Amino acid sequence: MINWLTNDILSFFIALVLAGILIPQILLIAFRKKLFDEIDERKIHKGVVPRLGGIAFLPSILFSISAVVGFNLKLGGAGMWIEMGDAIVPMYFMVCAVLLMFLVGMADDLVGVRYMAKFFIQIIASLLIVASGMYIDDLYGFLWMWELPAWFGWLTTMFAVVYVVNAINLIDGIDGLASGLSTVALVFYAVLFYISGEHVYSMLASAAAGTLLPFFYYNVFGNAKKQKKIFMGDTGALTTGMIMVFCAIAMLHIDSAVFTHEFNPIVMALSPLIIPCFDVVRVYIHRVRRHRNPFLPDKCHIHHKLLALGLNQRTALIVIMMWAALFIFVNVALSSIINPTALIAMDVAIWTIVNILLSRRISAREKRLNQHLFD
């Protein structure tokens, strides 16, 4: 009998070790070839920092999963193919979609890619996810909708893929934020996939989480002066975003009856993505209201607000990650007793109120600082 928990643990640690080996080598090459992140008025970091950390992600994930599956088959676990069942086809298509994101992200990090070209590739990747059969076919009562017509499910899936991938990319504004939020989400997905018997997907989420931890260390605790600090860049953000949205869509295909409580699948899928997805909507509205191009970057994300209050990067990171974990815990706990539309509406209301309060605190702080300047 196949021990899937052991497979998950092995996938996690193999990916962790391999990424831990690759990232220092990427740092070495980046400094030798002078491949650094450009410093501008939006950037918070000081000094030159390579932005190629994401190059370690996909190789580490694919190696760990392939090695674990290969050893299982070699050691007589031929029944693994049977137990993997319907997950095999979506996984192959997912790898193709993630590979597209990996390549376009690497091209953008090295030479730059126009956002319309990236958008086009994201659409192609979303079509691959739809073609795999892993599309959003049921909203489980969210917006008072249940089973969806196939064509509407395809369009919804394409929108969700492009939306989440860009949301993960845009939230990557301070050290450890994108990787930290993604790790929390992936661990959550891995646990639920394991409990529900979707072991192939739990291996994927486990390997992805393992890959992110070494990067998180170098990104948050690395010293730029000692050439030990690195960013994930678009390569990492797009790769991670694609894996995250695939896991979220796969979560919608879980039979909620396998859990002790009847949790709502749409809530379990959406809750880990709330912070990046809500933030990108608020930023978009903020830019449009001020007659700015909504696609041009600025400093109005949630992490910028916390920094404007005087928090340092690590404190802001901890606050946002705790907030994300709280959203997940409360939403999942309430999903069996509250309508998903009402629950997500509550999340939106809390998010809006907190942002309004933060804006007022920032304005008050700026007024006090200006008064001190003139005193």
Instruction: Quick: pLDDT tens for 161-219.
Output: 999 999 999 888 888 999 999 999 999 999 999 988 888 999 999 999 999 999 999 99
Among candidates 279, 278, 213, which has minimal Cα distance to 240?
213
- Rounded CA gap, 347 and 357, in Å? 15
Question: At residue 103, does pLDDT exceed 80?
Answer: yes
Average of per-residue pLDDT across 56-77:
90
Q: What is d(CA 160, CA 199) in angstroms, rounded to the nearest whole number? A: 24
- pLDDT, tens digit (0-9, with 9 covering 90-100), for 242-264: 999 999 999 998 876 666 567 88
Q: Looking at residue 335, what is its pLDDT?
A: 87
Cβ atoms of 122 and 165 closer than 8 Å: yes
User: Is a pLDDT exceeding 70 seen at residue 62?
Assistant: yes
Judge whether residue 227 has pLDDT over 90.
Answer: no
Rounded to an integer, the average pLDDT of 213-239 is 92
* pLDDT over 70 percentage in the chain: 90
- pLDDT at position 75 is 79
Q: Please compute the mean of the pLDDT values over residues 281-308 and round it to a whole number.
A: 76
320 falls in which pLDDT band (50, 70, 90)?
very high
pLDDT mean across residues, the chain: 88
